[in-house]
Amino acid sequence: MAVANMLYEKDVTTNYMQGKKFAFIGYGAQGHAQANNLRDSGYDVIIGARPGKSWDAAKKDGFEVYTVAEAAKQADVIQMLTTDEAMSEVYKESVADNLEAGNILGFSHGFNIYYKEIVPPADVDVIIMAPKGPGNLCRRTYKEGFGVPALYGVFQDYSGHAEDEAKEFAKGNGAARAGLLKTTFKEETDEDLFGEQNVLMGGLTSLIETGYEVLTEAGYSPQLAYFEVQHEMKLIADLIYEGGFNKMYADCSNTSEYGAYIVGPKVIGPESKKAMEDALKDIQDGTFAKRFMADYRAGFPELKKLRERSANSLLSRVGAELRSAMPFVTEADKYSTPAN
């Protein structure tokens, strides 16, 4: 198996981004983190936002804030960090007409370029810098002197040095302290959506919900079932994060390890693999993107229905009740209604 060519700060030696003005379009989790990190790395950063919460937050953090159109017009580098679903509208309404030849159009997810929701002009560089972690973690680790790894890549190289620009952008974000991996817009989009849907979010939550249903329908305590299938998930995930499956198994009992080996493949077996393969095809051929964008343009009726179902499930309500008694859970539990 080929070893990935991971790059670090010492490997990023060009300075094409020096002296350029960056406009971050959107000041949410990623926008906030990247803008602050780049500013702290010595870059000239402004924010493009709509009046409201994000505008006020950026002002409070000491940034010059403009409308999206004004920010795009001023900038050499326009980093698109709105939500996937709104990005093409924002681009068409406020960014497209303000791009100049030689500008750099940046993304942290390939969705809109890959699915042609955004079609950039031929005379700009189009790059991706995708941190492999949530915005708050990117910011916190940067301030601690480290960072989270990132992917970098190029969709369009007008200048002849777009790849170096992407690497410099990642370095300015602190990601080169942890490691950079080269990717493409297609690869990043396919793998990111696949991971979210099948393992990290969709697969994980469905596995927890199904395990919870089996236990409670068999007459076991809803509260104990919550601890077994959801609460302890973080503890197991932390062990895997620290040292892979081997560390996780080594830190657990022989009984649990033996059971995992013989039962796990029965639960996540050939049918699950086939479902994942089908999901990947839907990502690759655009079926998922079309369904998602159609739901968005209709006002998200399907998403709202699914979100409500999740928030009001017995598992969510029991979990909210139990977390309210846990002093070590500091984040306000505002997403679920406690069980009666």
Does 231 participate in catalysis according to the annotation? no
Nearest to 179 by CA among 224, 141, 216: 141
Measuring CA to CA, how many Å separate 340 from each of 167, 173, 221, 314, 322? 52, 46, 15, 10, 12
Dist. CA 139–CA 34, nearest whole Å: 7
Measuring CA to CA, how many Å separate 129 from each of 39, 114, 205? 16, 15, 28
Instruction: Tell me if 177 sits within 8 A of 12, measured CB to CB.
Output: no
Dist. CA 262–CA 247, nearest whole Å: 18
List phi, psi (to 5°) of 55: -55, -50
Residue 308 corresponds to which tokens in the numbers above? 């409500």
28 is in an annotated binding site: yes
Buried b (16+ CB within 10 A) or exposed e, 54-80: bbebbeeeebebbebbbbbbbbebbbb
Nearest to 151 by CA among 84, 116, 106, 85: 106
228 is in an annotated binding site: yes
29 is in an annotated binding site: yes
253 is in an annotated binding site: yes
Q: Strand 150-156 vs strand 125-131: parallel, antiparallel, or unpaired?
A: antiparallel
Dist. CA 186–CA 254, nearest whole Å: 42
30 is in an annotated binding site: yes
Structural Rg of the chain based on CA atoms: 22
Instruction: Tell me if 132 sits within 8 A of 150, measured CB to CB.
Output: yes
**Rounded to the nearest 5 degrees, what angle is found at the Cα of 336, between the Cα atoms of 218 and 331?**
115
Q: Which is the catalytic residue, given 32, 109, 161, 231?
A: 109
217 is in an annotated binding site: no
Q: What's the distance, Cα to Cα, between the start and end of the chain in Å?
A: 54
54 is in an annotated binding site: yes
Binding-site residues for substrate, in ranges, read 253
Binding residue positions for Mg(2+): 192, 196, 228, 232
Instruction: List active site positions.
Output: 109
Give the residue ranges of the annotated binding site.
27-30, 50, 54, 135, 192, 196, 228, 232, 253
Q: Which residues are annotated as a binding site for NADP(+)?
A: 27-30, 50, 54, 135
